[in-house]
């Protein structure tokens, strides 16, 4: 798809794809992990939240169960469970930003803490597809490519869609890259499909 989709076209495309048997049965992926990126313009962040929420409801009416997870909410849950959220909020103004970043990156490490938390949700909630959002809200403490790399062993049974405020590009010369907010070279990640290019 070469033209920039309107909000309505994007929503309709997402519904058509996610509701399709081809998508839910992980067809046409060439034995790759069923990971999809849904890139969207960063300025559409708030409307994308609304559209994702409406999409979950619409899919439920079509009999498709979505496990809708926010990286931001999961991060807050982890900080609460560790008993440090209030303490962190209290001291944030007087603490060096680099120290906070280092602390949060350790506590919210995808492999040790975040993926097990996602794994709990996957194990306890019947679902047909997983939606992951909140990417922009947790940057730079949690990086998308780290989440996807570590999620491969946990979320390979059902399709997973990562809602990404930026661009996801594939180029033969440079491989694939996630550019958060359309300007940062977020990192290389090769194994996901751009859901906006997925045909049903």
pLDDT at 173: 56
When comparing pLDDT for 44 and 179, which is higher?
Answer: 44
Q: How far apart are CA 200 and CA 194, in angstroms?
A: 13
pLDDT at 88: 84
Whether 166 and 180 have beta carbons less than 8 Å apart is answered as: yes
pLDDT at 1: 43
Q: Each residue of 110-164: pLDDT tens digit?
A: 888 999 999 999 999 999 999 999 998 998 788 888 898 899 889 888 999 999 9
Q: Each residue of 30-86: pLDDT tens digit?
A: 888 899 999 999 999 999 999 999 999 999 999 999 999 999 999 999 999 988 888
Q: Which residues pair with 179 in a beta bridge?
A: 167
Mean pLDDT computed over 12-40: 93
Residue 4 has pLDDT above 80, yes or no: no
pLDDT at 58: 97
| CA proximity to 163, closest of 175, 185, 174, 148 | 148
Residue with tokens 């798809």: 1
Lowest mean pLDDT among 2-6, 15-19, 86-90: 2-6
Q: Report the predicted TM-score, pTM, of the whole model to 2 decimal places.
A: 0.90
């Amino acid at each position: 798809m070469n033209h920039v989709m309107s909000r309505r076209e994007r929503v309709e495309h997402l519904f058509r794809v996610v509701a399709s048997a081809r998508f839910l049965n992980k067809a046409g992926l060439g034995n790759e992990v069923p990971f999809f990126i849904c890139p969207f313009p960063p300025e559409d962040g708030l409307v994308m939240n609304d559209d994702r929420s409406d999409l979950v409801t619409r899919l439920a009416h079509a009999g498709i169960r979505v496990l809708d997870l926010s990286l931001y909410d999961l991060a807050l849950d982890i900080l609460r469970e560790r008993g440090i959220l209030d303490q962190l909020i209290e001291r944030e103004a007087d603490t060096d930003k680099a120290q906070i970043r280092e602390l949060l990156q350790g506590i919210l490490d995808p492999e040790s803490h975040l993926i097990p938390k996602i794994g709990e949700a996957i194990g306890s909630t019947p679902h047909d597809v997983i939606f992951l959002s909140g990417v922009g809200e947790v940057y730079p403490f949690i990086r998308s490519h780290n989440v996807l790399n570590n999620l491969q062993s946990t979320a390979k049974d059902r399709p997973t869609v990562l809602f990404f405020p930026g661009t996801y590009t594939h180029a033969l010369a440079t491989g694939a890259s996630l550019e958060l907010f359309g300007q940062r070279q977020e990192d290389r990640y090769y194994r996901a499909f751009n859901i906006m290019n997925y045909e049903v």
